[in-house]
Amino acid sequence: MRTDSDDVSSNRSGNPPFQRVLAERFSRRGVLRGGTLAAAGFLLGGVAPNLARAASGEAGPLLGFSAVPLSAEDTVVVPDGYTATVFVPWGHPIRSDGPEWKADASNTAEEAARQFGSHHDGMHFFPLGQGPQASRNGLLVLNHEYVDQALLLSDGDEEMTQEKVDKGTATHGVSIVEVELVDGEWRIVDSDYNRRVTATTPVEFSGPVTADHPALAALDPQPRGTINNCSHGVTPWNTYLACEENFNNYFGTTDDSWEPTPEQDRYGIDDTGFGYKWFEVDQRFDIATNSEEANRFGWVVEIDPFDPDHVPVKRTALGRVKHEGAIVTEARGRVVVYTGDDQDGDYIYKFVGSRPWTELLATGRSPLDHGTLHVARFDDDGSGAWLPLTFGEGPLTTENGWTDQADVLLRARMAADALGATPMDRPEWIAVQPGTQDVYCSLTNGKAGEGEANPRSPNPYGHIIKWREDGHDNTATAFTWDIFLLAGDPAHDDAVDLDEDNMFGSPDGLWFDPQGRLWIQTDVSNSAQHDPDRGYDTIANNAMLAADPETGEVRRFLTGPRGAEISGVVTTPDQTTMFVNVQHPGEAVDMVGEPTPENPRAVSNWPDHAPDGRPRSATLVIRKDDGGVIGT
């Protein structure tokens, strides 16, 4: 987003900011240079072999491509020997008989619900078939995080109407399509699987906060929709988790007498939201008269892509926060789900299943409904603890105003405040390393730090933290942690151990491929992009990089078009096709320009570059010209 509402902290708990903890650790070690673990001379238990890769008998360097240079051009650049092709852009019909996208943005709300949404984000490829066929045919499932109304609507949003609200809600949500590789090209299959989940699709609630909970008793008796779906997760039983991030942005009111409750304030709900103005014409989004509607958001939503009739389920045991993602791993047969709550000064969470997931499924229970949510505390000595958000334990008692477990989950941020969790610099994606089960989290940027002596306070560039759960057991309640790297431009911060081939800012998307490459995607906000006063004069357009987690080597793999962030990445099982999302090309960039209904091309006209067109988000297909594994 151009100006991230999540840059503004709503955490008033007074828990020590992560930057102070980081500073204390750095000064304790006497290390101010060297962003990687290796450079800092600190390795958690020594260099962990990449078990997945070793098992496959592969040798040689993990990164085999030539770095691409920084770019300020309105195009996508990938390394020599690779080709990137635009696959599914915003507005493309999800079936061949669907409505064609109109470049003047005149598609109706009804048409939008039968097209791909906008602002592509988290994404997964679910293989169909076995062996080589699993990499040629599958279900592509992707989130549509938000909309830019200057580009979505042919006459912009100066005047709001119900039809505009309906087009906006239809353009949010999730797309599910069957895709296949034929003669070297990916195409959409007209399949029963193809469908949209939007911000008006009927949904169910499960777990401790049930649909009939008074806090969810909004005007519409039928709970509907998912919104601001940022990153995602995938369960071992092959369902997709769409995560609700900045849900507060959609609510507001024209009632001057309205004041937020402490709970609403803690979740960043105010009278204007992000400027969508939907509440002006649609009472659903009026926080003064329909406040319970906002409690229906901030959840992780499970969708079965293999069942076209499946009703999405909000899994409330995972807590109500601004979920960036919900990264699922497995330990001792249990599911473990990691979530970053993306707001400046907010927390990292972990859900641990109560019993082996196979046992729960076999008895008709969801493994995501039975378990304990925890929040992370990072201690100064490099250790850490997972603190349970359990009603009746610690400070979460009746005496302190907590009524039951549903209350704890509805107000998870406040429960985490009470437990003494560590405020972080905007936790975004989380990734679990194959083999070691170490966990990496991108902290995109922030300004919660204190003191002149703190080299990263404020922290405009972000960093990546990693931790190892005790005994490599992701269900553990204790861990050790360190900094994997500090992002940034070494010309502005000599603590940054990057150069022109790999410098970047604001890490966001993180994903380990099956061979253990860590893919890093960036989201420098368009208010900072190219701005020397923000230290972003040379870093240029957003990018995707690959890192070797053992050596700390980082190399730039892709640069995006103007105004876009890069977010969402997955490969086919054989790793010869990579899908990558380009989100919000052409959004207003303070140092470049601002799109208007009269000139939607002020910043970008990617990917179509049509003279009368407009920029649009899209999924890229990336293949190696020799048919090899992406990244080699």
Least distance CB 122 / ligand FEO (angstroms): 9
Give the β-pairing of 204-206 and 313-315.
parallel
Here the tokens at position 471 are 């005994």
Contact between 344 and ligand FEO (CB under 6 A)? Answer: no
Rule CB under 6 A: say whether 369 interacts with ligand FEO: no
Per CB under 5 A, the list member of 417, 508, 548, 550 interacting with Ca ion is 508
Applying CB under 6 A, what is the total number of residues that bind ligand FEO? 7
User: 302 vs 523, which CB is nearer to Ca ion?
Assistant: 523
The answer to whether 405 touches 207, Cβ cutoff 8 Å, is no
For residues 114 and 98, is the Cβ–Cβ distance under 8 A? yes
Q: What is the CA radius of gyration of the chain?
A: 23
230 binds ligand FEO per the rule CB under 6 A: yes
Residue 399 makes CB contacts below 8 A (sequence gap 6+) with none
Question: Are the CB atoms for 331 and 473 separated by under 8 Å?
Answer: yes
Would you mind telling me the total number of residues written for the chain in this entry?
632
* Structural contact between residues 474 and 456, judged by C-beta atoms closer than 8 angstroms: no
Describe the strand order of the beta sheet including 82-89 as a list of residue ranges.
82-89, 618-624, 577-583, 565-571
Return the number of the residue (166 or 508) whose C-beta is nearest ligand FEO: 508
CB 430 → ligand FEO: shortest distance, Å?
12
Closest CB 462 distance from ligand FEO, rounded Å? 11
Q: Which is nearer to ligand FEO, 462 or 615 (CB)?
A: 462
The binding track of 287-326 with respect to ligand FEO, each residue x by CB under 6 A or -, is -------------------------------------x--
Residues 93, 113 contacting (CB under 8 angstroms): no
Q: Which amino acid is at 111?
A: E
Q: Is residue 144 a contact partner of residue 155, using CB atoms and an 8 Å limit? A: no
Of 157 and 324, nearer to ligand FEO (C-beta) is: 324
Looking at the Cβ atoms of 124 and 623, the one nearer to Ca ion is 124
Selected range binding Ca ion among 160-168, 213-221, 349-357, 506-514, rule: CB under 5 A: 506-514
| In the complex, minimum distance from the CB of residue 230 to ligand FEO, in angstroms, rounded to a whole number | 3
Q: Is 428 in the site for ligand FEO (CB under 6 A)?
A: yes
DSSP output for 61-126: -S--SPPPPP--SSS-B--TTEEEEEEEETT-BSSTTSPPP-TTS---HHHHTTB--SSEEEEEEE
Contact residue for Ca ion among 178, 244, 513, 523 (CB under 5 A): 523
508-535: b (≥16 Cβ within 10 Å) or e: bbbbbbebbbbbbbbbbbbbbbbbeebb
Q: Find, among 460, 469, 487, 379, the residue nearest to 25 by Cα.
A: 379
- Residue closer to ligand FEO (CB basis): 342 or 548: 342
Select 176 or 230, whichever has its Cβ closest to ligand FEO. 230
Name the closest residue to ligand FEO (Cβ). Answer: 230
145 touching ligand FEO, by CB under 6 A: yes
Query: Residues in contact with Ca ion, total (CB under 5 A)?
Result: 3
Q: Which amino acid is at 474?
A: N
Residues 419-438 that bind Ca ion (CB under 5 A): 428
Q: Show the tokens assigned to 209.
A: 């906060």
344 binds Ca ion (CB under 5 A): no
- Residue 279 is encoded by which pair of tokens? 């509440």
Partner from Ca ion, ligand FEO, none contacting 245, C-beta within 5 to 8 A by type: ligand FEO
The answer to whether 148 contacts ligand FEO (rule: CB under 6 A) is no
Residue list 489-508, contact with ligand FEO (CB under 6 A): 508
Q: Compute the least distance from the CB of residue 137 to ligand FEO, in Å.
A: 30
What are the backbone angles phi and psi of residue 551, rounded to the nearest 5°? Answer: -90, -20
245 binds ligand FEO (CB under 6 A): yes
**Judged by CB under 6 A, which of 74, 157, 330, 342 binds ligand FEO?**
342
Residues in touch with Ca ion (CB under 5 A)? 428, 508, 523
Q: Could you list the residues that contact ligand FEO (CB under 6 A)? A: 145, 230, 245, 324, 342, 428, 508
